[in-house]
Homo-oligomer: A and B are copies of this chain.
């Protein structure tokens, strides 16, 4: 089954908003093992819309349309779909009542234009919108053999094979998501079942299961090399997704039954974890900070921070985790040398002699924070994130990171040749990863792709 996604709106074509609807719809199609072969965006323009609808009816089995269901004159989806496929517009009294009810609930007066949203092409199946004024609809039309470029309608269905189903949904993301999940996904599942039953020959449709494994510290090409054997298994497909500074792995397993697909995806997740060890830091919606928080909470340990170049980013990330007050005691952003001395108790002479970006100072910062906050762990960072401030011996990109624990203080330096924002993000990621690795008894390493500037670990 081939699917197509069409998003409608001048604002998309002008680049005024980034269209995330297509990605969210496509992800859901993947879970049903429906191939999305085409994605199209089109202006609120009658001729252009007719053209893309005709073309979709010629090449796709299912067409997800988002947008153009509002009450204004620019909102043309219903009208153009009806006209393109030779349907009349009919009032659905139940939808009109629902729209009136919506306005009553939010305490606003319903404008006359909103009546328009209760009209649908004849034969359409209305899709309820419990959180907005625009109901959607499903419309099955005969397949077209050809989609012409000039937009003329040359009659529908001559010699066509089967039907094409259009699902027209609102463009507002949360309304779209809910309608897709509650109304469209079950209908798609039924369409797929009917197709399987009708299939005279060929393999039945397969069940799909996907996982998402979050990794840090290994480049995409290294990951690919490490997992080459897994990727060779025809039953499992392995996708890579980079969202700096993480690389995520997305294994997708297909099988004849749900049980078999579940077994396969569990197996591949186990195999990936066995191969990559601590490089995998989480699954699904996990972030480095949420994983670190969970581990600290479970271990009954606490954290404090002393940040220079990361400027509060580590503290900001960990406090973004709900419940972080249980294990994060606080931090100091010691941007000036005076703050390093007055708030963390670092000897001004040490800073003078070694420089703020140095191993002795970053160690003293971590140990000072640990003492002042009374935490089990303390992280410190000091570096030159750029774009200015580098010297011959301390180039832009150099950073020292330290982790103080009850037993010892570990410090290491890196040169991250990336821009200021990425430098700060990467530094905070390595620092947080050290907490995780420390709690797992793993060596405190940095990302394999970044040139390491030196380092040492000594009792502190």
Give A residues with C-beta under 8 Å from B.
11-20, 22-30, 35-43, 45, 48, 55, 58-59, 146-147, 149, 239, 241, 250, 305, 307, 310-316, 318-320, 322-325, 328-336, 338-339, 342-343, 372-374, 386-389, 420-421, 424
Distance in Å from the Cβ of A178 to the closest Cβ of chain B?
13
Known: A37-B42, A330-B335, A331-B333. 19 other contacts (CB 8 A): A13-B35, A15-B25, A17-B23, A18-B20, A38-B42, A39-B40, A40-B40, A55-B149, A146-B149, A311-B319, A312-B313, A312-B315, A312-B333, A315-B333, A320-B421, A322-B387, A323-B388, A330-B332, A338-B373
Provide the residues of chain B in CB contact with A24, threshold 8 Å: 15
Distance in Å from the Cβ of A31 to the closest Cβ of chain B?
10
Q: How far is the CA of A336 from the CA of B45 in the complex (A)?
A: 55
Provide the residues of chain B in CB contact with A325, threshold 8 Å: 335-336, 389
Provide the residues of chain B in CB contact with A372, threshold 8 Å: 342-343
Q: 9 A-B Cβ contacts within 8 A?
A: A11-B241, A15-B27, A37-B45, A58-B149, A305-B333, A312-B315, A325-B335, A329-B335, A330-B336
A342's closest neighbor in chain B, by CB?
B372
Is B336 a contact partner of A343 (Cβ separation < 8 A)?
no
Distance in Å from the Cβ of A382 to the closest Cβ of chain B?
12
Is B15 a contact partner of A23 (Cβ separation < 8 A)?
yes
Listed from nearest, the 5 A-B pairs whose CB atoms lie closest are: A311-B319, A15-B26, A312-B315, A312-B312, A330-B339
Q: How far is the CA of A48 from the CA of B147 in the complex (A)?
A: 15
Provide the residues of chain B in CB contact with A335, threshold 8 Å: 315, 319, 324-325, 328-331
